[in-house]
Amino acid sequence: MALLELKNVSKHYNSTTRALVDVSFAVGEGEFVSVIGSSGSGKTTLLRCINRMIEPSGGEISFGGIVLSGLRKRELRRVRTKIGMIFQQHNLVERLTVIENVLHGRLGYKSTLAGALGRYTREEKRQAQEIIEMLGLKDHMYKRCDQLSGGQKQRVGIARALVQSPRMILCDEPIASLDPGTAKIIMSYLRNICTKWGITLVISLHQVDVALSYSHRVIGFQKGAVLFDGPPAGLTPARIAEIYGSDPVDMVAPLAG
């Protein structure tokens, strides 16, 4: 059975702009899926609809057999603990240390008081330390995040997602603001997480070549609709041109993505 399933999901912000149009696909456990498309094609909206950071306008999304659309706040929070998220801008609390930011990944499991006070168990701290070491950040564990480089910050972001013990991680353009060398390191960490830990990855990417070389499967988006869904081998240059469109109107599309 698929871990993640989208059925006819749509999203419109107003009557004229439709960010997602009738999107349907399923992702199996342990898959590495890249979502590609030009800016404004709906990649970010798609990812954010999956964990309901953005409320879809229609359709059904299920994760691990649970339909997300009807969930109450508390139930939704419980599902979200199993879905990690990594952002282009890292979205760390810059003034806190690496380990504090990583431990934020445990908040979803905590009571209101324990979480607000930041009381983590010894086991949680040990686990966070282990993940930080695994990502090569051992020397930076007690450094404030505003002292880290972009690549290091993104690794903290990955650690924060991993400490959730997620079944799936959504990565929203995780390498868009990194230099090519650092981007490569981040991508290989992500691939490791998928193959060694068996965590499902859904990752939106700008760079087609990266998507082709790392993922099991590529989903091509254009104007909020799925244009291609299949293994990288099936993605011919003609198809890529189709996804990115030669239409100059695309270049000035609204920056919803």
Task: Compute CA distances 177 → 59, 78, 89, 181, 210, whole Å.
Answer: 32, 31, 8, 12, 14
Q: How far is the CB of 185 from another protein (least distance, A)?
A: 21
Closest CA to 148 of 178, 184, 172, 171: 178
CA distance 186 to 135: 10
For residue 77, what are the CA distances in angstroms to 49, 71, 106? 14, 9, 12
Q: Is 252 helix (H, G, I), strand (E, B) or coil?
A: helix
Among the listed residues 28, 30, 64, 108, the single contact to another protein using CB under 8 A:
108
Contact track, another protein, 66-105, x by CB under 8 A = -----------xxxxx-xxx-x-x-xxxxxx-------xx
Q: Hey, which residues between 116 and 135 contact another protein (CB under 8 A)? A: 116-118
Residue with tokens 């270049």: 251
Comparison of 80 and 223: residue with beta carbon closer to another protein: 80
Question: Whose Cβ is closer to another protein: residue 95's or residue 138's?
Answer: 95
**Contact assessment for residue 98 and residue 156, using Cβ atoms and an 8 Å cutoff:** yes
Q: How far is the CB of 159 from another protein (least distance, A)?
A: 12
User: Which residues share a beta bridge with 35?
Assistant: 204, 219
The verdict on 155 binding another protein (CB under 8 A) reads: no
- Looking at the Cβ atoms of 80 and 217, the one nearer to another protein is 80
Q: C-beta of 46: minimal distance to another protein in Å?
A: 14
254 backbone dihedrals φ, ψ, rounded to 5°: -60, 145
x/- letters, 21..60, toward another protein (CB under 8 A): ------------------------------x-x-------
Sign, Cα dihedral of 122, 81, 85, 196: positive
- Please identify, using beta-carbon distances, which residue of 52 and 206 lies nearer to another protein: 52
How many amino acids of this chain bind another protein (CB under 8 A)?
Answer: 34
Residue 229's DSSP bridge partners are 219
Stretch that binds another protein, among 6-14, 159-167, 196-204, 232-240 (CB under 8 A): 159-167
Binding residues (CB under 8 A) for another protein: these are: 51, 53, 77-81, 83-85, 87, 89, 91-96, 104-105, 107-110, 112, 115-118, 157, 160-161, 164, 170
